[in-house]
Amino acid sequence: MNHAQLTALGRALRLLGEHGEALTGDTPDAKLHEVRADVKRALDLLEESVESAAPSTRCPEHPNGPVDKAAPDLCLLCETRRRTARRAEYNGEPLPARTAEPVQSRYGVRGDRPQPQQRWLPELWNGQTWQLCGTPRRDRREAELYIAAQLRAPRAAMAYRLVHEFTDYEVLRVWGTPVRVDIEPMGGL
């Protein structure tokens, strides 16, 4: 509500107060129509100055929160909290004391993170870089047998290697010699 709206609304409400003090049992109808027009004017000013929606609950913490008709303040959120506290009392459990515990990290603590998994990655040399061929294996012998089968294939790559992945990558064994191949024919002339 800006200052002009506040001033106009205050003036209209003071005028209504004066009308209220002047009312008697023998007030003429013309005066009542004038009071009615002033009340309507004050309501219009009030309607213009209100910016937010009317509160749906009587709760000062959650005025526009979800409604629970059974709650004394109509607030579902606060009533849920109160019901939880009552349920804990009926079950004989003491209410949990709020201690100054650290806030839970979104990344978790070290003990919560899964342990690194050990895998063997078969890779082939494509003439430019090493690329993964096949799926990573959990067994080293199985990965070596896979590379041996790839070497016997009709369209075998120039070189293969086996990379051990644990917390870091380590090249275990290389088959063949990786030679850098220029992708431009005739050396890019």
| Segment among 19-23, 101-105, 128-132 with least mean pLDDT | 101-105
pLDDT higher than 60, residue 100: no
- Its pTM stands at 0.35
| Confidence class for position 22, pLDDT limits 50, 70, 90 | confident
* Mean pLDDT, residues 77-81: 88
Within 8 A by CB and 6+ apart from 14, the residues are none
Q: CB of 18 within 8 A of CB of 31?
A: no
Of 18-22, 103-107, 138-142, which one has max mean pLDDT?
138-142
pLDDT confidence of residue 143: 92
Within 8 A by CB and 6+ apart from 182, the residues are 188
DSSP summary character for residue 96? P
* Mean pLDDT, residues 43-71: 84
By percentage, how much of the chain surpasses pLDDT 70?
83
| Confidence class for position 146, pLDDT limits 50, 70, 90 | very high
Q: CB of 73 within 8 A of CB of 57?
A: yes
pLDDT higher than 70, residue 106: no
pLDDT confidence of residue 148: 93
**CA distances to 7, 143, 144, 181 from 173, in Å:** 86, 11, 9, 22
* Mean pLDDT, residues 26-35: 87
pLDDT confidence of residue 12: 86
- Neighbour tally for 185: CB within 10 Å: 7
Q: CB of 122 within 8 A of CB of 150?
A: yes
| Confidence class for position 150, pLDDT limits 50, 70, 90 | very high
Q: What is the spatial distance between Cα 82 and Cα 172, in angstroms, rounded to a whole number?
A: 62
